[in-house]
Structure 1
Amino acid sequence: MHQQQQPSVLLSKFFNELSLACQRNEVECLPVLDLACGFGRNGLYLLKQNLPVVFADINPDALAQVEQQVKALKKQGQASASYWHQDFELPGSAPLKAKRFSAVLVFRYLHRPLMAQIKEAITPGGVIVYETFTRAQAQFGRPKNPDFLLEPGELADCFANWHVRHYFEGIVQSGGSKQAVARIVAVKPDE
């Protein structure tokens, strides 16, 4: 089984915003989408805090391991979880069309054609938590392909009309190495 890493500190720091976004829908608590979740470290953290999560990834083995961890949590009475095996990069596809989430988490993943869909899938008052590599990452290691690296200010520009709760762009220490990242936590304005 995959060794579980610590969740992003952004999730604990902005948990109240995520929880409030989930509670805004009076009928039911819309789930949080953990997009390109990998082994689920961030979604599992929210699930342990009793928020419903949809774990989405292209890797069925990673999703199976997440499901095993969720089964162990369910014995403790945790919130609901579902699993979505999806290739978000299929040309011409719109996998998020007509889907609604209280929040979307995206860590270490960038596929620019999805950005508009991500923004649309979040309900008004919902939250985006996004962190990925910037162009400066190429000097420290992988990824180096510019298709997977944000331009300076690109993430801030993408969510410029949202209520930004946190923004950072720069160099961080992670696991003993430097990484160039951009991070944003923002709330979608009411329509």
Structure 2
Amino acid sequence: MNVYKVHNAHSNLLQTYVKELTLASKQGPILDLACGSGRNGLYLARLGLPVIFADQDKEKLQTIERIIKEEKLTSTTWLVDLESGDDHLIDNQYGAIIVFRYLHRPLFNSLKRSVKPSGVVIYETFNEAQRKFGRPQNPDFLLQENELIDTFSHWHILHQFEGEVGDPTCSISQVVAQRNGR
């Protein structure tokens, strides 16, 4: 099943797994990692879920802060350079982490440790087959075949997809995984 939405709307993965995200948010906030414009996290925040918007782009976070204030959302922003080499993520802090269109492999282990037991990760970004459609081209920003499944192999996989989607066409990998334990 391909659960995907293009352009400025939030990902359909969030709608499909909103029950799991709602349960996970009772354990801790949802981290929208490398949130960009915040389209995915804002969808969840508007449902009343606590979201932390994390990004290194101060201007985008300021725009999100204005929306949070105007709409009285239970959310905060976090200005952070996730690629600085420092491990900014704290173990067992988040009920869920969502990541869309961002890949920095050194974060994988701390990302997994940062989710509380029974928490959820939703991860979607471009894979190597994207090269035939355009950017990105750099292998540092493209998942290898089955890389997300391998990364979360000890978790309960709720959803997995690799393939071509959208108009214009792009090639992505998706995983929705729940951390084992209570």
TM (normalized to structure 2)?
Answer: 0.93
C-alpha separation between the residues in 1 aligned to 2:91 and 2:24? Answer: 18
Tell me the alpha carbon deviations over residues 89-145 of structure 1, each in whole angstroms, 9 at most, x when there is no partner.
013x11113461000000000000000010000000100000000011111011100
* Aligned-partner residue type, residue 48 of structure 1: R
1:9-53 per-position Cα deviation (integer Å, ceiling 9, x unaligned): 000110000011122x3xxxx110000000100100000111000
Q: Distance in 2 between matches of 1:186 and 1:155?
A: 10
Cα 1:86–1:99 shift into 2, 3 Å: farther
2, 13, 22: which is aligned to 2:16? 13
Instruction: Verify: 1:134 aligned to 2:134, yes or no.
Output: no
Post-superposition, which runs of at least 4 consecutive aligned residues in structure 1 deviate over 6 A? none
* Amino acid corresponding to residue 65 of structure 2 in structure 1: E
Q: 2 CA distance for matches of 1:156 and 1:141?
A: 24
Name the amino acid aligned to 2:121.
I
Q: Which residue of 2 aligns with 1:120?
A: 113
Q: How does 1:1-191 map to 2 (within 5 A)?
A: 5-23=8-26, 25=27, 30-74=28-72, 78=73, 80-91=74-85, 93-98=86-91, 100-173=93-166, 176-190=167-181
What are the superposed Cα offsets for residues 44-85 of structure 1, whole Å, 9 maximum, x if unpaired? 0000111000000010000001111111210xxx4x211110
Structure-1 separation of matches of 2:76 and 2:123: 21
Q: Secondary structure at the match of 2:65?
A: helix
- The number of aligned residues is 176
* CA distance in 2: counterparts of 1:145 and 1:99, whole angstroms: 32
Residues of 1 paired with 2:176 and 2:71: CA distance? 27
Normalised to the residue count of structure 1, the TM-score between the two structures is 0.89
Amino acid in the other structure paired with 1:46: L
What amino acid is the match of 1:102? Answer: G
**Matching residue's letter, 1:43:** G
CA distance in 2, matches of 1:127, 1:177: 29
> Secondary structure of the equivalent of 1:67?
helix
The one-letter amino acid paired with 1:88 is: L
Structure 2: tracts of 5 or more residues without a match: 1-6
